[in-house]
């Protein structure tokens, strides 16, 4: 489908979703964002749903301003995936042992490594810039500096919620490794600190929603936020790289006889800010639950823990600010999913997948998400499919 433009907004709101199916609260959020005086345009992805401040599945382009709540508290959250030389024929009949080895190597939930991961011990890990990255921590927001030791130990850990590690097969039977995570607690604390700081600034006092408070270009507050924002985005990228290194090491050990090899890793943020230019205008583009899909750029669009995912290539649609959806998108809240479904429902909907099937992850049940095939159909002018993957092992946070 092409987009639908929402009438009555101050700036274009282009939707790659059926407006009739979008929650009224999410539609109101989009209209609220469109009232900001710095806004240049909004692109709405087919997985759009209600979020704090700004909707998840929205791309917000501003001139000379950025809204920290529109990035979200998991700064730099995103995906990584890599194709391996393994095939379905290399796999054992029982995959529970593989899941246990992955969980032992990569802490999940609120857990962290006992000692910081030394990237030099990870096979082929690119360590250039590692020391410089941590040196930039010295300039981070003062109240968050006390978290450095925790940030070190959480580097290379999964987190909770909808974060996951997966062992997948594509339609040719090739094995892929895939993971979803972000900037862990350090990103959350930085986001909350700067959101609170923005809300106190005088130019934000008349906004329709205090969560839409912005920082303005060429101010000390913006400079401080940009430093911490880009540092946290880099932390998220490195966190995924370390996890992927640990994941690969597990696979090397478990499939030693097959001597697995790995292609180049595909990686993309889906909660972040980028400096981009459209029609000669320099903009700060915030993607909250959206990936960049410039012409020829690779991306990852996951479904739920029982439905599979897509590797895609961007078509460079500037009407969408070169963006695409970040996943299937929730169609109900976590609390509603817990009320509607049981652990037995989860087991039925994840049949054939080696994963947790207990009440602790019922909120991640596939039925709580929109159908990924429908989401992909709605963005045919944003991306083309390179590979369709189906998970056979899923480790949830």
Q: Which residues pair with 161 in a beta bridge?
A: none
- Contact yes or no for 167/98 (Cβ under 8 A): yes
Among 59, 80, 55, 71, CA closest to 11:
59
Which residues are documented as binding site for Mn(2+)? Answer: 74, 163, 180, 270
Q: What is the DSSP string of 299-362?
A: EEEE--TTT-EEEEEE---GGGTSEEESSS-BSS-HHHHHHH--HHHHHHHTTT-EE--SGGGG
Pairwise CA distance, residues 196 & 193, whole Å: 5
Pairwise CA distance, residues 3 & 17, whole Å: 7
Joined together, the tokens standing for residue 349 give: 């909907």
The dihedral sign for the CA sequence 251, 254, 256, 258? negative
Which residues are documented as binding site for GMP? Answer: 162-166, 270-271, 302-305, 309, 326-329, 396
The dihedral sign for the CA sequence 291, 365, 240, 116? positive
Pairwise CA distance, residues 391 & 374, whole Å: 19
Pairwise CA distance, residues 42 & 11, whole Å: 8
Burial (CB count within 10 angstroms: exposed 0-12, middle 13-18, buried 19+), residue 35:
middle
DSSP character at residue 238: H
Pairwise CA distance, residues 364 & 346, whole Å: 9
Of 49, 194, 269, 326, the active-site residue reads 326
User: Residue 326 catalytic?
Assistant: yes
Which residues are documented as binding site? Answer: 74, 162-166, 180, 270-271, 302-305, 309, 326-329, 396
Among 185, 195, 189, CA closest to 69:
195
Those residues with Cβ within 8 angstroms of residue 42's Cβ, 6 or more apart along the chain or in another chain: 9, 11, 12, 13, 14, 30, 33, 34, 58, 59, 60, 61
Pairwise CA distance, residues 21 & 46, whole Å: 10
Cα 300 to the chain's mean position, in Å? 10
Active site residues: 326
């Amino acid at each position: 489908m092409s987009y639908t433009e929402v009438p009555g907004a101050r700036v274009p709101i282009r939707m790659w979703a059926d407006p009739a199916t979008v929650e009224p609260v999410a539609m109101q959020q989009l209209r609220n964002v469109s009232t900001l005086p710095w806004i240049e345009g909004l692109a709405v992805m087919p997985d759009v749903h209600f979020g704090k401040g700004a909707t998840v599945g929205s791309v917000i382009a501003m001139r000379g301003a950025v809204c920290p709540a529109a990035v979200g508290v998991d700064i730099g959250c995103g995906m990584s995936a890599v194709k391996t030389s393994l095939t379905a024929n290399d796999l054992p009949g029982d995959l529970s042992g593989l899941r246990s080895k992955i969980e032992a190597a990569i802490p999940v939930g609120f857990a962290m490594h006992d000692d910081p991961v030394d990237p030099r011990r990870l096979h082929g890990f690119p360590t250039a810039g590692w020391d410089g990255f941590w040196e930039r921590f010295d300039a981070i927001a003062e109240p968050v500096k006390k978290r450095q030791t925790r940030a070190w130990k959480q580097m290379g850990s999964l987190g909770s919620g909808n974060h996951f590690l997966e062992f997948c097969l594509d339609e040719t039977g090739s094995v892929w490794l895939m993971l979803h995570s972000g900037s862990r607690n350090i990103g959350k604390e930085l986001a909350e600190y700067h959101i609170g700081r923005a809300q106190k600034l005088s130019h934000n006092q008349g906004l329709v929603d205090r969560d839409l408070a912005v920082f303005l270009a060429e101010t000390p507050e913006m400079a401080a936020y940009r430093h911490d924002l880009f540092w946290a985005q880099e932390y998220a990228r490195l966190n995924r790289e370390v996890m992927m290194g640990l994941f690969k090491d597990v696979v090397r050990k478990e499939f030693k006889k097959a001597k697995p090899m790995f292609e180049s890793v595909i990686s993309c943020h889906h909660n972040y800010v980028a400096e981009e230019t459209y029609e000669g205008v320099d903009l700060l583009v915030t993607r909250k639950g959206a990936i960049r899909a410039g012409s020829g750029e690779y991306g990852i669009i996951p479904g739920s823990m029982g439905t599979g995912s897509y590797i895609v290539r961007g078509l460079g649609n500037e009407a969408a600010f070169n963006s695409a959806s970040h996943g299937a998108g929730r169609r109900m809240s976590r609390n509603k999913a817990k009320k509607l479904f049981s652990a037995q429902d989860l087991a039925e909907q994840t049949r054939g997948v080696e994963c947790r099937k207990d009440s602790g992850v019922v909120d991640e049940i596939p039925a709580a998400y929109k159908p990924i095939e429908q989401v992909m159909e709605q963005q045919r002018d944003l991306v083309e499919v390179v590979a369709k993957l189906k998970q056979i092992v899923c480790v949830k946070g």
